[in-house]
Amino acid sequence: MSEPLLVLDDVTKNYGAIQALKGISFSIGRGEVVALLGDNGAGKSTLVKIISGGLEPTSGRMLFEGKEFLARSPSEAKDAGIETVYQDLSLCTNVDVVANFFMGREITRKVLGVPVLDERAMEGVVAKALADAGTRIPSLRANVEHLSGGQRQAIELNRFVHWGGKLVLLDEPFAALGVEQTRRGLDMIRKVASQGIGVVIITHIMQQAFQVADRIVVIRQGVVAGDVATSQTSPDAVINMITGETLAGAGAASVAR
Ligand SMILES: Nc1ncnc2c1ncn2[C@@H]1O[C@H](COP(=O)(O)OP(=O)(O)OP(=O)(O)O)[C@@H](O)[C@H]1O
């Protein structure tokens, strides 16, 4: 097996007296989609924040591409190729798609010795990136505020891929989206992974996990309660890992399928 993209080794996190993570160990491969499941308060968001530089772990270590890794800020994680796409999207809504795509990385050309934005060149790059990904946007010059949630998410993911992202973390990416947009989003995740990018998706929807993930990792009360290939398990078995019930246990029906 090739070297994993990210390895978590006995990662813990305390918030004062609360032990949110009690020693988490698992890995994510290149091109692998891992669904992170668990009940409310299990520790999923805490874990994702630690990976993406939003929080420092209390103890434990991480290896990214075989090297010791600890991001002290989201921008440090981003520089390493790790980014989170949150529900509250990180695009600037009052500028257009092209400006969002290039934010801080604009192409310039010299006019009479003075650098000016090369809008045509940038538009060409964005048009190609979106076309390659099969993403259709009505106008690249539309302000992002006029785009749907699904289109915004697609732009964020395309931008991440274009700028050399290696591991993307998605925290409930489809919570605000309709059926068709969710289907497109799931397709896009598979496409992103097929380019060798690692994907971690937090979802409460069991069906989404089974549709998109290669592996399911279940967190329960701050520990890994299950780490299984999607093809080797079933929704009922995963529900039991989430709730800690036995196979015939009650309470399983409360988890959305
Ligand atoms: N900033 C904080 N201060 C104190 N406790 C926190 C903080 N953030 C999270 N916790 C606690 O840590 C534990 C794990 O929370 P976390 O948000 O990581 O869980 P989660 O699995 O993402 O839950 P959900 O699905 O509800 O978002 C919970 O007991 C939570 O109350």
CATH of the domain at 209: 3.40.50.300
Average pLDDT of the segment spanning 240-244: 94
Nearest to 70, CA basis, from 54, 53, 85: 53
Residue 116 and residue 70 share a domain = no
Task: Say if ligand 1 is within 6 A of residue 93 CB.
Answer: no
Closest atom of ligand 1 to CA, residue 38: 21
Residue 77 and residue 172 share a domain = yes
pTM of the model: 0.87
Residue 118 and residue 75 share a domain = no
Residue 132 and residue 256 share a domain = no
Instruction: Mark which of 141, 164, 187 sits at the end of a domain.
Output: 164
Residue 189 and residue 73 share a domain = yes
Q: How far apart are CA 249 and CA 240, in angstroms?
A: 7
Alpha helices, H only, the chain? 44-51, 74-80, 97-102, 119-132, 149-162, 179-194, 206-212, 235-243
Residue 190 and residue 131 share a domain = no
Does residue 238 have a pLDDT over 60? yes
Residue 97 and residue 53 share a domain = no
Residue 254 and residue 169 share a domain = yes
Confidence of residue 151 (pLDDT cuts 50, 70, 90): confident
Residue 86 lies in a domain: no
Domain span at 124: 93-164
Residue 236 and residue 191 share a domain = yes
Residue 157 lies in a domain: yes
Residue ID of nearest Cα to ligand 1 atom 1 = 15
Amino acid identity, residue 187?
A: D
Residue 158 and residue 175 share a domain = no
Selected residue with higher pLDDT from 139 and 133:
139
Confidence of residue 104 (pLDDT cuts 50, 70, 90): confident
Confidence of residue 145 (pLDDT cuts 50, 70, 90): confident
ipTM score of the complex?
A: 0.96
What's residue 249's pLDDT?
40
Residue 88 lies in a domain: no
DSSP label at 143? B
Residue 173 and residue 226 share a domain = yes
Task: Say if ligand 1 is within 6 A of residue 53 CB.
Answer: no
- The three-point CA angle 229-231-234 to 5° equals 95
Instruction: Mark which of 164, 196, 221 sits at the end of a domain.
Output: 164
The model's pLDDT over 21-35, given as tens digits with 9 standing for 90+, comes to 999 999 999 999 999
Nearest to 21, CA basis, from 49, 39, 40, 47: 47
Task: Say if ligand 1 is within 6 A of residue 15 CB.
Answer: yes
Residue ID of nearest Cα to ligand 1 atom 11 = 20
Residue 145 lies in a domain: yes
Residue 19 lies in a domain: yes
Task: Say if ligand 1 is within 6 A of residue 256 CB.
Answer: no
Residue ID of nearest Cα to ligand 1 atom 31 = 41
What's residue 248's pLDDT?
44
Instruction: Mark which of 143, 164, 185 sits at the end of a domain.
Output: 164
**Structural domain total, the chain:** 2
Which residue, chain included where needed, has tokens 């993930």? 213
Residue 251 and residue 202 share a domain = yes
Q: DSSP string spanning 145-164?
A: GGS-HHHHHHHHHHHHHHTT
Residue ID of nearest Cα to ligand 1 atom 3 = 15
Does residue 205 have a pLDDT over 80? yes
